[in-house]
Structure 1
C-alpha cells in the first residue's frame, strides 16, 4: 500500500485537476464525477512511466506518438539549459534569425526527401498544418490562380485542432458543434482496407479505388479550384491505417496530372518511426509540402515545421509583398537547439536503422502471434506503428456495437496491467519509443494478450 503522504498528495493533485485544469479531449462532466480521478504521471525513464502512487507503466504510445528517443535523456535537457543561458528567446520576425533556427533548417533539409530545402517553424503540428493552408493559398495566389483554394483530405485523417487544421482532418467528433469543417475543405474515403473494402476486393484493388476517390473529388470540385491534397503516409490517430502499396503511387500521379500540391503530414510518421527518417521515403512520396512535429524534439519541448519544396519555395520568394503569417515562437531558439540534439541522438544511436532492421520486424512478428485470439480480426504494423482490430466476427470483419465500447474496455485493462495503449474505435494502437528493445516488445505483447483475455472474459467469450 502507498504511504499516507503519497496518497494525500495524489488526492490533492486530483482535486486540483478537477477544480482548475481543463484537459484536452475530455468529457468534463464524466471527469468530475469519476471518483478515481486522473492518473497523475510524475516520472519517466526509458520507455517507462511512473505515476504518483508508484505504479510503473510501459508507455506503448511514446507519450502522444512523440517520445522517439525515450524519457530521461540528459543530452536534451542539457541542450535546452545551454541555450537558455546563451539566448533563451528571440523572435524570427523583422529580418531576424537565430543560430539554432538557421542550423536546424539546414539539418532538416539534409535528412528530408530530396527537394525540401526550406523550413517554416511553429510550435505544434496543428500550427504547422494551419500554416500549410496559408502556404497553399499564398502559392496559388502568386501563380495567378487564387481560385485554387480548396483542399482534399480523408475520413479519419488527423491534422490538428485549430479551426483550419481540424477542418483539414476527417474526425467528425472534432467538427460537430464547432461549425466545422470551414468552407473549402473536402474529405474522401481513407485507404482502410479492413473497414472499407468490398467483399472479395484485394488490398491492391482497394488501394487503387481509394486513390480514385481522391481523383473523383478533384473532378467534382474542378481541378481549377483544388489547390492541394493532404494525407498522412500512415494515418496514426485515425487507427494506424496502413495503405496498400498501390495507393500512394496513384495519389502521386493524380496530383501531378491535375496540378494539385501534395502535402505529406509526417507529424506522427517522421523521425524514424517507420524505419526511415520519413515515411514519404518508404512509400515513394515526393511531397510539395511536409508537416513535422512530435518526434522533431521527441516531445521534450514544443516545436513543429513545414518543409517547403523548391517548387513552392521559389514561387514564394518570387512574389511581391510579405507572407503575413507567423507565430511568436516560430523558430524558438531553445526548441531548435533541443531538436538539433534530438536528431543527433537518433543518428548516433542508429535508431532509424534499428527500427527498420530489428525492432520493426520483430514487433510485426510478435503482433502476428495475437492473430489466433478470438477477439482479433487483424493485426498490422509498419516500423514501430501497430494496430490490433477487435471484432465480434472474424470472417465478416464485423465490429462490436456500439463501436468503441470494447476498445475502451481493453484500453482500461491495459492501464490496470501496466501498459499504455490507445483505443481508436475498436482498434488498439501503439507506437512505442524507438529505443524499445526486443525483450521489452515481448513484455508489451504478452501484456496485450493478457488484456485481450480479460476483455474477452468481460464479454463472456470463451478462450
Structure 2
C-alpha cells in the first residue's frame, strides 16, 4: 500500500524537492513539459540523444527485441543483437580493436577498462603484479563509481568520498591551450613539455608500477571540451610504450561521432590499447556503453588461457544492444558523422561570431557538435568568477525559463576543480542550420540577460572590483603543483 503522504519520492541529487520540469513527450530536438513549454535540447541530454527523441527505426528495433528476447543472462547465453553490435563496433575500428564488452553506463565501462588493464599485467607469461597505478589528468571526469572517481579530478564530486577511494592514481597536466600554453611557447614545445611531465611522473611512481595512462580524447563536462593539440596523443603513447604501460582513452562523451569521426582517436594519429564509449552509442534509447580492446592485447589474454574476473547482470542486455546497433546503423546509413562535421563548422562560426565579443566569454572551444563556452571575470586575466556566485547554475536556470526554453549543460570546476563556470552545447546530429541559428540566439540571450541582471543587482560590479588588482594567480598544471603567475585583472 502506498502511503498517502508519499509525494516527490524520486531522488536524484537534492534531498529537497526536485524542481526539474516534468517531461510528458519529446519529438525531434525538443522536450515537451507538463506546463506547456517546449525545451530546445541543445545538449542532447548529456551528449546522449544524438538522433533526437523520436527515431522510429530505433524505437521499432527496441520493441522487436522486447517481444523476442527481453533478457537473458550474459554468462549463460548470447543474443544476436549483442553479437552484431560487438561486430559492428570492432569493424568500425578497421580491425584495430578486436573485442567489445557491452556494459550499461559510462562509469561501469571505465571500471571494466581499469580492471582489464590490471588483468593484462597479471596474466602475462611473466606477471607484473606491481602494476596497479594509473596516471590521469588534472581536471578529468571519468565517472561516478569508486574506480572512476579514483582517476577523476572533479573535486566537488570526488572529495566527499576520498576515504573510500583507493590511492592508486596520480595526475599530470591536461592538454588545454587556453590556460596551459605558456607565453612564447608554441604547440610543439607544449607537447614536448607535457610528454616530459608524463615521463617524470612514470619515474616518480616507478615505471614498473604504472598500469596505464588514462585520458579523455576530447575533454568532457568537467574540463569543458579541452582540446588535444596536434601530436599530443602520439607523444603520450610513446611515453607509455617506453615504460610498457597501456593507453586508455575515455570517449564516453566525445565518441561515437560526436566530434566528427566515429571514434575521436581517429583524428589523433594514435590507436589506444583500450577505449571506452557510451552516451551516443545508444542515443538514449537504452542505457548502454562499451569497452573496446586492441587486437594485440586480446591476443595476450587468449595466450594466457585465463579468464577476465568480471561480470554484471545487465551486460550485453538484449534491448540495449538492439538499440545501440540500430542507432549506429542509422548514423552510418544517413551519413550523420559527415553531417556532424559540416554542422559543427557552422556552429563554431556562429558561436564565435555571436558570443566571443561578450566581455565575460573567455573561450569557445570544441570540435564537431561538441562545444564549450567558458566564462571569466575578464579576458586578460582569465580569472574565474567566485564559486559562490554559481554563475553556471544561473545560466542553466534562466535557459529553462519561459521565453528562453533552451537546455544548456552547465558545469563548474574547469579552473581548479571548484571554480570556473562553463556550459556545453552538443545538440543532436540531426540539427539544421536554422536550428543552430536558434540555439545561438537563445544562448546569447541567456548570457546577456544573466549578466544584465547581475549588473543591475551590483553583484557583478562588486566581484569585478574585488578582482581588479594585480595579484598572483595559481595556475594548476600538475598534480599537487601550482605555478604562480602575476596578472592584472584590469
Q: Same fold (TM over 0.5)?
A: yes
Are 2:410 and 1:423 equivalent residues in the alignment? yes
Are 2:433 and 1:438 equivalent residues in the alignment? yes
Q: Is the 8 A contact 1:113 1:286 kept in 2?
A: no
Q: Classify 1:448/1:200 alpha carbon distance in 2 versus 1 (closer, same or farther; 3 Å).
A: farther
1:222-255 CA-partner distances (Å, limit 9, x unpaired): 1111011111101111211112224222112111
Are 2:104 and 1:123 equivalent residues in the alignment? yes
Q: Give, in angstroms, the shift of residue 392 of structure 1.
A: 1.1
Q: Classify 1:141/1:404 alpha carbon distance in 2 versus 1 (closer, same or farther; 3 Å).
A: farther
Q: Classify 1:403/1:393 alpha carbon distance in 2 versus 1 (closer, same or farther; 3 Å).
A: farther
Q: Structure 2-normalised TM-score?
A: 0.85
Are 2:148 and 1:165 equivalent residues in the alignment? yes
| 1:327-338 superposed matches below 5 A | 327-338=312-323
1:348 matched residue in structure 2: 333
In the aligned structure 2, how far is the partner of 1:59 from the partner of 1:404? 25
In the aligned structure 2, how far is the partner of 1:203 from the partner of 1:173? 31
In structure 1, stretches of 5+ residues that fail to align are 1-14
Q: Is the 8 A contact 1:404 1:424 kept in 2?
A: no
Q: Is the 8 A contact 1:271 1:277 kept in 2?
A: yes
2:450 matched residue in structure 1: 455
Instruction: Please say which of residues 432-441 and 155-164 is displaced more in the overlay.
Output: 155-164
Q: What SS does the corresponding residue of 1:227 show, helix, strand or coil?
A: strand
Q: Classify 1:407/1:113 alpha carbon distance in 2 versus 1 (closer, same or farther; 3 Å).
A: farther
Q: Give, in angstroms, the shift of residue 207 of structure 1.
A: 3.9
1:221 matched residue in structure 2: 205
In the aligned structure 1, how far is the partner of 2:189 from the partner of 2:436? 33
Aligned length: 437
Q: Is the 8 A contact 1:79 1:337 kept in 2?
A: yes
1:313-371 CA-partner distances (Å, limit 9, x unpaired): 11111224432211111111111111111111101211101112x10110111111121
1:134-162 CA-partner distances (Å, limit 9, x unpaired): 10111000111111111111122111111
In the aligned structure 1, how far is the partner of 2:318 from the partner of 2:292? 18
Q: Is the 8 A contact 2:231 2:268 kept in 1?
A: no
Q: Classify 1:44/1:240 alpha carbon distance in 2 versus 1 (closer, same or farther; 3 Å).
A: same
1:16-47 CA-partner distances (Å, limit 9, x unpaired): 33xx1220xx242xx33x7xx22212221111
1:191-235 CA-partner distances (Å, limit 9, x unpaired): 122233434444543344334332221111111110111111011
Instruction: Please say which of residues 37-46 and 287-296 is displaced more in the overlay.
Output: 37-46
Picking from 13, 23, 36, the partner of 1:54 is 36
In structure 2, stretches of 5+ residues that fail to align are 1-5, 413-420, 462-490
Q: Give, in angstroms, the shift of residue 376 of structure 1.
A: 1.1
Q: Give, in angstroms, the shift of residue 105 of structure 1.
A: 1.1
Q: Is the 8 A contact 2:173 2:194 kept in 1?
A: yes
In the aligned structure 2, how far is the partner of 1:92 from the partner of 1:329? 7
* Runs of 4+ that moved beyond 6 A: none
In the aligned structure 2, how far is the partner of 1:260 from the partner of 1:291? 17
Q: Is the 8 A contact 2:102 2:316 kept in 1?
A: yes
Cα RMSD after superposing both structures? 1.8
Q: Is the 8 A contact 1:40 1:52 kept in 2?
A: yes
1:97-125 CA-partner distances (Å, limit 9, x unpaired): 22111111111111125410101121111
Are 2:130 and 1:147 equivalent residues in the alignment? yes
Q: Is the 8 A contact 1:167 1:185 kept in 2?
A: yes
Picking from 280, 304, 307, the partner of 1:295 is 280
1:11 matched residue in structure 2: none
